[in-house]
């Protein structure tokens, strides 16, 4: 029974959410995989223990009182003894909660400082996270990389700790960056720059969501954090740093793409496409999803998206460009070459 359940669970995870490798699809905050999430986990366990104890004591007293002091048929009809209060008991049940608040307050203060006032190491990977209605832009200022919706960071190990220091900015309204297994959420607010950090110690893809209501497609502003071994990460960085491919086999498709309105909003490095309103497409094929984590990045999905993005993600800010089927073929062909 148990093992068949587990197999069913495993199937669930692989079949239903199979895009991308090694996806930690259930984002349980009680399975932390980075230090900030650990700090939250530790204070949360203390908090749960205290609250469970209070619940058992007070809930038990309530239950006992209700059962013991219910009116029974055999009772005499007189009213019970009229008790107005008791200073001693009342002082006790005031002082005990005060002490509990002190303990929990100190544990909280410690965890807040651990997470918020951590000094960033000099070799921290700097990433600027920019929230847009309804997608994420990730910029690596020291590496000259711009990508979208899938944040790549190296694995942190005891031998080689790796911290990613995130600066959070918004291009429009308030959003919130939340990947529960790596850290608590931090809001992404226009006009101010917030910071957070992660040092994931487990490889794979961690899932998260925008956690501040930001308009029509708030639900589909998904986050994927891809944690790779240092070698894999270096390879990814090297690929991303290159200009987009100038493969002569797609020259015609490229010319079509550059002749269309696509370039007003999207950038493809090394070409005249320099728009910044939509996601950077220079290495689109290195991403596993489209539409900010909404659908797998396959040929069919890419074609369907370009044909009518509103049919897939209603209200998103990419218009239906009314491409004819030749243009559509060419654009898909060109984008598919952007490894």
Partner 1 sequence: MPSRLHEWVVTVDHKRLGILYIATALIFFAVAGVLAALMRLQLAYPNATFLPPDVFNRLFTMHGTTMVFLVGMPFFAGLANYLTPLMIGARDMAFPRLNAFGFWIFLFGGILLYLSYVTGEGLAGHGTAPDVGWFAYAPLTERAFSRGTSTDYWILSIILTGIGTTASAINVIATIVSMRCKGMTLARMPLFVWLMLVVSSMVLFALPPLTAGQVMLLLDRYLGAHFFDTQAGGSAVLWQHFFWVFGHPEVYILMLPGFACASEIIPVFSRKPMFGRPAMIGATIGIGMLSSGVWAHHMFSVGMTASSNIYFAVASMAVGIPTGIKIFNWLGTMYGGKIRFDTPMLFCIGFLFQFLIAGLTGVMLAVAPFDWQVTDSYFVVAHFHYVLLGGLLFTLFGALYYWFPKATGKMLSETLGKWHFWLLVIGFHLTFDTLHFAGILGMPRRIYTYAPGRGWETLNLIASIGVIFQAAGVACLVWNIIRSLRKGKPAGNDPWDAWTLEWATSSPPSDYNFAVLPEVRSSRPLWDLKHPEDPDWRYE
244-303 positions binding partner 1, by CB under 8 A: 294
Give the Cβ contact number of residue 319 at 10 Å: 11
Give the Cβ contact number of residue 194 at 10 Å: 16
For residue 60, how far is the Cα from the chain centroid?
39
Nearest to 35 by CA among 154, 152, 115: 115
- By CB under 8 A, residue 213 contacts partner 1: yes
End-to-end CA distance of the chain: 45
Distance (Å, rounded) from C-alpha 108 to C-alpha 44?
9
CB closer to partner 1, 112 vs 252: 112
Torsion on CA atoms 186, 192, 193, 194, rounded to nearest 10: -20
**Residue from 8, 12, 121, 264 binding partner 1 (CB under 8 A):** 12
Distance (Å, rounded) from C-alpha 129 to C-alpha 164?
11
Letters for 143-182 (x = contact with partner 1 by CB under 8 A, - = none) are: -------------------------x---xxx-x-x-x--
- By CB under 8 A, residue 104 contacts partner 1: yes
CB closer to partner 1, 116 vs 229: 116
Q: Please, which residues have CB within 8 angstroms of residue 189's CB and are 6 or more apart in sequence?
A: 168, 170, 174, 175
CB closer to partner 1, 251 vs 311: 311
Distance (Å, rounded) from C-alpha 230 to C-alpha 199?
13
**Residue from 165, 189, 258, 321 binding partner 1 (CB under 8 A):** 189
Which residues 15-34 are close enough to bind partner 1 by CB under 8 A? 16-17, 25-30
- By CB under 8 A, residue 1 contacts partner 1: no
Among the listed ranges 99-107, 257-265, 275-283, 329-337, the one in contact with partner 1 (CB under 8 A) is 99-107
- By CB under 8 A, residue 89 contacts partner 1: yes
For residue 333, how far is the Cα from the chain centroid?
31
**Residue from 49, 120, 219, 238 binding partner 1 (CB under 8 A):** 219
- By CB under 8 A, residue 211 contacts partner 1: yes
**In terms of DSSP bridges, do strands 135-140 and 164-170 run parallel, antiparallel, or are they unpaired?**
unpaired
Distance (Å, rounded) from C-alpha 94 to C-alpha 92?
5
- By CB under 8 A, residue 113 contacts partner 1: yes
- By CB under 8 A, residue 4 contacts partner 1: no
Minimum distance, C-beta of residue 258 to partner 1, in the bound complex (Å): 30
Q: How many residues bind partner 1 (CB under 8 A)?
A: 91
CB closer to partner 1, 161 vs 190: 190
- By CB under 8 A, residue 329 contacts partner 1: no
Minimum distance, C-beta of residue 196 to partner 1, in the bound complex (Å): 9
Among the listed ranges 136-144, 213-221, 234-242, 302-310, the one in contact with partner 1 (CB under 8 A) is 213-221
Minimum distance, C-beta of residue 289 to partner 1, in the bound complex (Å): 11
- By CB under 8 A, residue 88 contacts partner 1: no
Minimum distance, C-beta of residue 292 to partner 1, in the bound complex (Å): 12
- By CB under 8 A, residue 39 contacts partner 1: yes
- By CB under 8 A, residue 47 contacts partner 1: yes
Positive or negative CA dihedral for 265, 266, 269, 273?
negative
For 14, half-sphere exposure in the C-beta direction (CA atoms, 13 angstrom radius) is 7
Nearest to 131 by CA among 213, 68, 230, 18: 213
Nearest to 287 by CA among 186, 146, 128: 146
């Amino acid at each position: 029974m148990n093992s068949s359940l587990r197999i069913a669970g495993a199937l669930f995870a692989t079949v239903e959410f199979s895009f991308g490798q090694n996806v930690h699809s259930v984002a349980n905050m009680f399975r932390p995989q980075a230090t900030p999430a650990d700090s939250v986990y530790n204070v949360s366990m203390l908090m749960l223990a205290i609250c469970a104890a209070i619940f058992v004591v007070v809930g038990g007293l309530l239950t006992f009182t209700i059962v013991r002091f219910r009116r029974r048929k055999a009772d005499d009809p007189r009213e019970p003894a009229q008790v107005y209060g008791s200073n001693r008991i009342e002082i006790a049940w005031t002082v005990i909660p005060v002490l509990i608040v002190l303990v929990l307050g100190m544990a909280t203060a410690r965890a807040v400082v651990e997470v918020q006032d951590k000094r960033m190491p000099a070799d921290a990977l700097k990433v600027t996270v920019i929230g847009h209605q309804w997608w994420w832009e990730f910029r690596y200022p020291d590496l000259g990389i711009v990508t979208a919706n899938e944040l790549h960071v190296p694995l942190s190990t005891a031998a080689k700790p790796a911290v990613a220091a995130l600066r959070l900015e918004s291009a429009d309204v308030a959003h919130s960056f939340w990947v529960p297994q790596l850290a608590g959420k931090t809001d992404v607010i226009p006009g101010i720059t917030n910071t957070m950090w992660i040092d994931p110690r487990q490889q794979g893809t961690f899932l998260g969501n925008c956690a501040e209501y930001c308009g029509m497609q708030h639900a589909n502003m998904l986050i994927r954090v891809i944690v790779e071994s240092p070698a894999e990460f270096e390879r990814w960085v090297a690929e991303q740093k290159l200009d987009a491919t100038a493969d002569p086999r797609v020259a015609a498709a490229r010319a079509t793409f550059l002749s269309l309105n696509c370039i007003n909003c999207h950038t493809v490095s090394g070409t005249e496409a320099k728009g910044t309103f939509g996601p950077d497409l220079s290495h689109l094929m290195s991403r596993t999803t489209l539409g900010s984590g909404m659908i797998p990045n396959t040929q069919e999905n890419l074609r369907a998206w370009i044909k009518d993005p509103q049919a897939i993600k209603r209200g998103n800010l990419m218009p239906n460009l009314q491409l004819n089927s030749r243009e559509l073929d060419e654009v898909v062909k060109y984008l598919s070459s952007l490894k």
